[in-house]
Amino acid sequence: GCPGVLAVLGLEAAAPGECELTRLLQDKLQYEMRLQYMKHYFPIDYTVQVQYEEVLRPSNVTRLRNGTVSEAALRYLWFHVSSQAVLRIREVLPEKHPSWKYTQELCQLFDALGEEYSKYRQTDVEAVVADLVKLIHSAGAESRSKAVRPKALLDNCLKVMRMLYGVPCELGIR
């Protein structure tokens, strides 16, 4: 048969592991937690430097969907952008910071999701997404060109996660 085709079809449905982990993430990303750990514990108007490609908003997803990018590829992109965002936030935190443990926990959930996505082959993902993912991981610090508040990064992470996993994983929007 054609394993390539099957692999792609299989990716359209979110794996049980993905759903499990996105539910855990949804719990961790509750509004109160984002507010406390990403806003109250930071100086007023504090921002972290990220690359343009590291910001993924619902509007970007809608545009890519209309450009016929598969749901699987969008989830793959969301995973890379979001795990990168958490790393960006973690980079600026000393271990004693009250938000450090929280970002550490998010990192662990994303690491576990990474295991789920390690099954993806680059060829399973549309070129536009593969290119974005490459950019996210290739550019050096000097190309970071956008100042974003930590909470905004996690707000986007949650909103896009709900767009992409809400239906296949039955994430009740709490």
Is 171 among the domain residues?
no
Domain range spanning residue 113? 16-166
Is 42 among the domain residues?
yes
Whole-number Å distance between alpha carbons of 135 and 73? 15
Rg (CA), the chain: 16
Is 1 among the domain residues?
no
pLDDT at 111: 92
Instruction: For 96-147, write each residue's pLDDT tens digit.
Output: 999 999 999 999 999 999 888 877 666 678 888 888 888 888 766 566 688 9
pLDDT at 173: 55
Whole-number Å distance between alpha carbons of 135 and 101? 28
Do 54 and 156 contact (CB within 8 A), yes or no?
A: no
Is 79 among the domain residues?
yes
Is 126 among the domain residues?
yes
CATH of the domain at 126: 1.20.1250.80
Instruction: For 1-19, write each residue's pLDDT tens digit.
Output: 333 443 444 446 677 788 9
Is 134 among the domain residues?
yes
**Of 82, 110, 121, 87, whose CA–CA distance to 17 is shortest?**
110
Between 167 and 24, the more confident residue is 24
Is 139 among the domain residues?
yes
Is 64 among the domain residues?
yes
Instruction: For 26-66, write each residue's pLDDT tens digit.
Output: 999 999 999 999 999 999 999 999 988 889 999 999 999 88
pLDDT at 112: 92
pLDDT at 132: 86
Count how many domains the chain has: 1
